[in-house]
Structure 1
Amino acid sequence: MRESAAERHDRLLGLVRDRGSARVSDLASLLGVSPVTARRDVEELAGRGLLDRVHGSVSWPQDAAPGAAGPGATGGGLVLGMLAPSSTYYFAEVIRGAHEAAARAGARLILRISDYRPQEDHARTEGLLSAGAEGLLVAPGWQDPGDPAAFGDWIASLPVPTVLLERRPTAGSPLDGLDRVCSDHAHGVLLAVRHLVELGHGAPLLMARADSPTAVAVRSGYAEALAVLGLRAPQDVIDSVPAELAPDAFEEAVRALREAVLSGVATAALIHNDVDAIQVVQRLAELGVRVPEDLALIAYDDEVAALADTPLTAVAPPKREVGRHATELLVERLGQSTGAPRRHLTLLPQLRVRDSCGARLP
């Protein structure tokens, strides 16, 4: 199976962490990739603050905790392990927040990426424990609704303190008794729906993916928001898929949204996520539907929404703060007795208003 970019980034970070520093040309050889690919990977990771880059070499960040250069380094600080489903997009900021908090606490953070393959979560977490992790931050690579039951029981029996990140287990399950830090996506959706209604629109349409816990939470939050505001969905949720993976299905979804606008079914929409939203806006323009003139639109995630031709209003989950608070909670947990009460910390997203929701009814 071809290695994903996330897996390659994981290996690159591991090589630099273990060595303290490395030449980019040496990393290309060790990773078995071209120098161009290695430079591109290094630039991306350095841009996210996960590496420092100087004169053709990279090093573990200077603000990292004592002992961050690798297992053989000295310093005696705590070693924290983090399992994330990806090192890009949404979780890049979660990782950054965790890294910053670990550095402030004098701890070393080591990272493993599952690339959204939940069947590999257990083995990668065992790798963190073997590397000396004394506490764990775990964001399982769950995608399907059945994944927590199929690939989650082992988390509750981990031998070290564990904090779940951006995951809400089934109420009453063993995982529900763990510490966790999550964004309140239902609140974020409510902010978006309420804003559009206050602009004079009826209930907005939802166009959303169904391939991640965030997507599932956005869908359920949409139903809750409509109930809170006493609204009825103008039609069924439009299922969204990545344009690059399923172009025909993406085109079908865009045309369904176009038809809803042209028929007067809806004048506003919420789209998860904002990469999809940018591509939807571009395709709608080609099909004669303009944002915001014909359709008021809000995106969900706010990773790249501000970079669209028409900057997109977006719901921004507190990603970096999730990583920071989870790490602080884990460090605190490691210093407490085993009988201390567990905590569920929920952080509220923000609505960042830009140009794309300016449409109003005549």
Structure 2
Amino acid sequence: MRESAAQRHDRLLTLVREGGTARISDLAARLGVSPVTVRRDVEALTRKGLVDRAHGAVSWPRARTGEAGSGGTGPVLGLLAPSATYYFSEVIHGAHEAAARAGARLVLRISDYRPEQDRARAEGLLAAGAEGLLIAPGWRGLADPAEHGGWLAELPVPVVLLERAADPGGPLAGLDRVSSDHAHGVLLALRHLVGQGHPAPLLVARMDSPTALAVRAGYDGALRALGLERPQPVIDAPAHRDPEGFERGVQELWTAVTSGRASAALVHNDVDAIRLVQRLAELGIRVPGELALIAYDDEVAALADTPLTAVAPPKREVGRLAAELLLERLGRGPAGTANAPRRHVTLLPRLHVRASCGALAAATTATEATTAPEAPEAPGIKQGTTHDHA
């Protein structure tokens, strides 16, 4: 299976982090791609602040004047993430910004969504001097927290979970955590589509990450809150890891739309949504013409041919607040916060309305109706808005 850019970026970051610095030509050879591809990847990672580039080489970022660790007296925070690209790049940025403001140093390790390696990676961060840990375990399935998560409660330093939940009463329930309320994000999306006059929207979602599972759980809750019945089972269309499964999902969605059973869908995530729109267009289904669509994540949704309306979890804020909470536990916050009660902080996503759900066209129709009274309003369609929903 062809490697994605995100996977290649993670491998590149691992190579640079392990060596501290690397030449572009050496990275190209080890990654099995052209130097041009590596330069393009390095430029993208440099813009995100994940690497430094100079004179044909790339290096792991060093603390700059006024940034984390520049004085050498601040605490060291360890951050374990399943990836340093896509969703988690913003989480890492937020944590780095908070650490920098406090004069702390942030040390990063990547698990590559291999939960069986999380413990060893965390121990490596402790060996590197981390006095507290921000951890987003590389869990992928429902059984992973029980099988690969118990050790988190035994760590000898303060721990804050990132974008992960814990079973009530389980060993991790008493840990600090900061996460996005994905159930609220799903409700925003479905409420918007129903407000546009659509029947119960379909859900197209994967099953290979905690976010995907939270979106699936949030879907059923959102339907109940809106008084709707589930129109059909959730469609699994994983474009990256299962091309045949993706095509089956496309055909299932095509059948639902052409039969009149559905006219709207929420798709997790952006990349799958963009590929889905492209494939549906080849089959004669236009977005938003025949199908109103909202993506979940809002990483690249705005860059699609038809800009995708998207739910945007507050990723950077999650990282920032988690780092601030960890610093408090280390005695670097307001007096008394180190021993304050444990906290579960949940942040609400926003809905960024663009063209793919038909709201912009509806708003245009509403404007034309006010300037041309004779033009009738389209029957059965409620007018939408074009501002962000929080």
TM-score computed with the length of structure 1 as normaliser: 0.90
- Residue 269 of structure 2 corresponds to 273
SS of residue paired to 2:78 = strand
CA offset digits 1:16-49 (Å, max 9, x no partner): 3xxxxx4634863996867716534422321211
Map 1:14-25; keep pairs closer than 5 Å. 14-16=18-20, 22=21, 24-25=23-24
- Residue 12 of structure 1 corresponds to 16
SS of residue paired to 1:80 = strand
Greater alpha carbon shift after TM alignment, 206-215 vs 58-67 = 58-67
- Residue 352 of structure 2 corresponds to 352
Aligned length: 350
One-letter identity of the residue aligned with 2:67: A
| Cα pair distance change 1:25/1:266, threshold 3 Å | closer
Residue 125 (structure 1) shift: 0.4
Answer yes or no: is 1:288 the counterpart of 2:292: no
Residue 172 (structure 1) shift: 1.1
CA offset digits 1:204-263 (Å, max 9, x no partner): 000100100000000010000010110111111111212x43211111100100110011
* Cα distance in 2 for residues equivalent to 1:28 and 1:234: 49
Contact 2:328 2:337 in 1 (8 A): no
- Residue 194 of structure 2 corresponds to 197
- Residue 140 of structure 2 corresponds to 143
* Cα distance in 1 for residues equivalent to 2:233 and 2:162: 30
- Residue 67 of structure 2 corresponds to 65
Contact 2:265 2:292 in 1 (8 A): yes
- Residue 203 of structure 2 corresponds to 206
Gaps of 5+ in 1: 17-21, 69-73
* Cα distance in 2 for residues equivalent to 1:173 and 1:297: 37
| Cα pair distance change 1:75/1:106, threshold 3 Å | same
CA offset digits 1:310-354 (Å, max 9, x no partner): 000000000011000000110011105764210010000000000
Map 1:122-271; keep pairs closer than 5 Å. 122-242=119-239, 244-271=240-267
Contact 1:12 1:27 in 2 (8 A): no
TM-score computed with the length of structure 2 as normaliser: 0.84
One-letter identity of the residue aligned with 2:50: L
| Cα pair distance change 1:291/1:35, threshold 3 Å | closer
Contact 2:16 2:22 in 1 (8 A): no
- Residue 19 of structure 1 corresponds to none
CA offset digits 1:73-114 (Å, max 9, x no partner): x71211000000011111111111111111111010000100
Identity %: 64
One-letter identity of the residue aligned with 1:261: V
Contact 2:12 2:27 in 1 (8 A): no
- Residue 115 of structure 2 corresponds to 118
SS of residue paired to 1:356 = helix
What's the Cα RMSD here?
A: 2.3
* Cα distance in 1 for residues equivalent to 2:43 and 2:66: 18
Residue 202 (structure 1) shift: 1.1
Q: Which structure has the bigger radius of gyration?
A: 2
* Cα distance in 2 for residues equivalent to 1:140 and 1:57: 31
- Residue 366 of structure 2 corresponds to none
SS of residue paired to 2:106 = strand
One-letter identity of the residue aligned with 2:211: T
Contact 1:25 1:35 in 2 (8 A): no
